[in-house]
A and B are shown apart, each in its own frame.
Chain A
Amino acid sequence: MATAISLSHLGSVMRGVRSVDQVGVEERAAGLAKRSIKKASKLWALDLAIRCIDLTTLEGADTPGKVTALCAKGVRPQPGDPSIPSVGAICVYPSLVATAVAHLRGSGVKVASVATAFPSGQSFTSIKVAETREALAAGADELDMVIDRGAFLSGDYQKVYDEIGSVKEACGSAHLKVILETGELGTYDNVRRASILAMAAGADFIKTSTGKITPAATLPVSLVMMECIRDFSRETGKQIGFKPAGGIRTSKQAIAYLVVLYETLGPDWMTPERFRLGASSLLNDILMQIEKERSGAYQSADYFSVD
């Protein structure tokens, strides 16, 4: 693919990426989080949030049984209520892709697999590429890779760039989400650099976090990444997707992300094609809030299945 930056000067280009003012970006994010989303617009946002969820389980203890249950939940989050849509995707480890594929066939729900020595990324490029190929061969539609933070923090941008490129090549037409693991990058300047690097190297989505370390996704980090997507789109015409992941548990948080998305990237991004929420426990809170908006009263948590 055509890249936005010259490979021969990658290092100096990355160091020349425009800076981010920490106080300013946090203030802006806090301001947007205060938007008051009510009634019909709240229901609309919650419906979109469900369709954008990458319903995720990434535990050492995951079993086919657990993944089967999660798939059922993702396809029909609230049995008996057809107005509740399916989630965007089910996100699992590579070894469980086949199980998910079997249970999601024909449902429209995508299967996403993490890969590339998730979550640390500390392995050999050849193994990362091989893992990617295996996950896709097992039927994954989307692939969530991690960047090599060690290489990034030591300034070896070329290695990070090349690795993303190799994985992208292995992906073919499958959607590639590139996890920056912003909680390990330390500064918003680095988040900005990593975002631009990942997009230039071929990411279809950029994603905040693995969910394995804190802080995971935050609103200001997401704002910085969305601003990069906006700049990238302006310069190249390519509309890269965004996925915050980790620590998003409540409807209120989900709506705050949608507000920042709307006011930063605009209506074109208000679709599962360009926005996903990586979450495991968010879905039930959304279901409860929808029920509350409709009936005017909160229902017992026992009415919502725990999967």
Chain B
Amino acid sequence: MAIAKRPSTEMGQRLFEYAAAPEATDHLKIADSYALFVGGRFVEPHSRRRFATVNPATEETLSEVAEADETDVDRAVTAAADAFRSWSRLSGAKRARYIFRLSRLMQERARELAVLETMDGGKPIKESRDVDVPLAAAHFFYYAGWADKLEWAFPNRRPRPLGVAAQVIPWNFPLLMLAWKIAPALAAGNTVVLKPAETTPLSALAFADICQQADLPPGVVNIVTGAGSTGAAVVGHPGVGKVAFTGSTEVGKQIQRATAGSGKHLTLELGGKAANIVFEDAPLDQAIEGIVNGIYFNQGHVCCAGSRLLVQESIVEPLLAKLKSRLGTLRVGDPLDKNTDVGAINSRAQLEKIEGLVNSGIEEGAEIYQPECRLPERGYWFRPTIFTNVAQSYRIAREEIFGPVLSVLTFRTPDEAVEKANNTPYGLSAGVWTDKGSRILWLVERMRAGVVWANTFNRFDPTSPFGGYKESGFGREGGLHGLAAYVELS
């Protein structure tokens, strides 16, 4: 290799150029095409149709994936219903053994899963490696522990599984959302038909392979790939006892209409427009990190993202100065590079949606700030963006952008902060930054949000329930609450 020469003068190369540090991909085998995972086997789709899944950072096709039609979905639900008879009667300890095994295999294959997640979805490898995959494995590990303790989980009640769970998950955290859905379902004795998002099916198919490797009884987990119509067939199937959906509020409303009166149990985890509230006594440098983590984590493709920053007026100036200079150090680019902070936008459609909303913000009169950064020529990219001078009525302050775009609003008093924070149809999450413990408690009592983070943001744990108020959905995932969504109590 070349020997770098020492800069000849003190004023020589002062920029610390990080050399490319790409995660290796040679250990990963992506097949040219994938079938559906039904009854423990990969089966060709009845539909005979396939669609491409693309690497959003390069726009290259990674693989062709089967598109399940109603017949395919019916086969999957039938396989799950068949498997339910024996799986639900298996002792909790034996179910736990399988779920622990899934967890361990995910840990063993963590690197493969992380690289796959990053290639298929565009998120930085440091996030899939340090957040998505370990948390997904932790969810299986946590719920495996409950499988033989259901009667302690619900004292003096008799918990019974609901049957076949139809689960439709989004593209922002494909493997983690799979874990949130499948782990509690299996622990409680249900079987599963899961439909991953059409832009990110590969980690779910790798999980299917893990199910085979774990000798999970055939039909306990079935994975059908496809787009909206496949999802509609999955949740609409009459053989399904439980529907769990994570995705947009719009689709959530359709699902609620479709399942109304069907007797199906339903949980929905939908959109959000979280307020991240910074008081004047906040630890400012850490609040900056929290703001950055809140909105630029996973390119802002996070339903609980802190997309509305509410800043107390007395500190707007220093906070914005710090935030803008911090944005300049965000490394945007190749998601497989270990030093990348912000990766690729998940799809062209999402990029266009973000661009549309950002343009509306400019037109409505907000002031836009974007740092200098060189974006790759191919792929879907969007610069980290801050909007200031945002009025509560602007679309960028009301609608979920689901991209790396922050709207900054101000407040004068704690009451005003609460009022503005709650003034949204959503209610998934919120953040509060202050050095004053009593103010945190005061505020949490008044927030209409499923989770309120204090002096941190976007922090997840399998033991902690997560879910929304209002149009952010209902039902909780994670913790004991998450288990309750998969049992009927008598």
Contact = CB atoms under 8 A, between A and B. Distances in A.
Interface of A: 18-21, 23-25, 27-28, 34-45, 47, 83, 85, 227, 234, 258-259, 262-263, 267-268, 270-271, 273, 293-294, 296
A170 to B, nearest CB: 29
Contacts of B26: none
B4 interface: yes
Given A24-B290, A28-B286, A35-B339, A41 B17 contact: yes
B6 A85 contact: yes
Contacts of A36: 18, 21, 338-339
Given A35-B339, A40-B19, A27 B126 contact: no
Interface size class of B (residues with CB under 8 A): 20 to 34
Given A20-B285, A21-B286, A267-B16, A39 B1 contact: yes
A64 B7 CA distance: 34
Contacts, number: 92
Contact of A262 (B2, B16, B285, B286): B16
Nearest to A45: B16
A37 B283 contact: no
Contacts of A20: 283, 285-286
Interface in B325-368: 329, 338-339
A35 B128 CA distance: 15
Given A23-B455, A41-B16, A271 B10 contact: yes
B289 A294 contact: no
Given A18-B284, A25-B286, A83 B6 contact: yes
Nearest to B10: A271
Contacts of B388: none
B31 interface: no
Contacts of A294: 1, 3
A34 B289 CA distance: 16
Task: Give the residue among B6, B16, B18, B339 with the most A Cβ atoms within 10 A.
Answer: B16
> Main SS of chain A's interface residues?
helix
Contacts of B14: 267-268, 270-271
Interface string B1-33: 111111100100111111111000000000000
B289 A27 contact: yes
Contacts of B435: 19
B286 A38 contact: no
Contact of A23 (B19, B21, B456): B456
A85 B10 CA distance: 12
B441 interface: no
Nearest to A43: B4
Contact of B4 (A37, A44, A259, A268): A44
Contact of B126 (A34, A41, A258): A34
B286 A258 contact: no
Interface in B278-292: 281, 283-287, 289-290
A243 to B, nearest CB: 18
Nearest to A47: B6
Given A24-B290, A40-B17, 9 more contacts: A20-B286, A24-B283, A35-B18, A36-B18, A36-B338, A38-B21, A270-B14, A270-B16, A293-B1
B285 A42 contact: no
Contact of B19 (A19, A28, A38, A262): A38
B331 to A, nearest CB: 9
Nearest to A25: B286
A21 B283 contact: yes
B288 to A, nearest CB: 9
Contacts of B2: 40
A234 B319 CA distance: 13
A87 to B, nearest CB: 14
B16 A258 contact: yes
B379 to A, nearest CB: 21
B285 A25 contact: yes
Contacts of A34: 126, 130, 338
Given A24-B455, A28-B289, A19 B16 contact: no
Contacts of A293: 1
B11 to A, nearest CB: 9
Interface in B417-463: 435, 455-456
Contacts of A268: 14
A85 B9 CA distance: 12
A24 B3 contact: no
Contacts of B290: 24
B25 to A, nearest CB: 15
Contact of A21 (B7, B16, B321, B455): B455
A253 to B, nearest CB: 16
Contacts of A262: 16
A271 B12 CA distance: 10
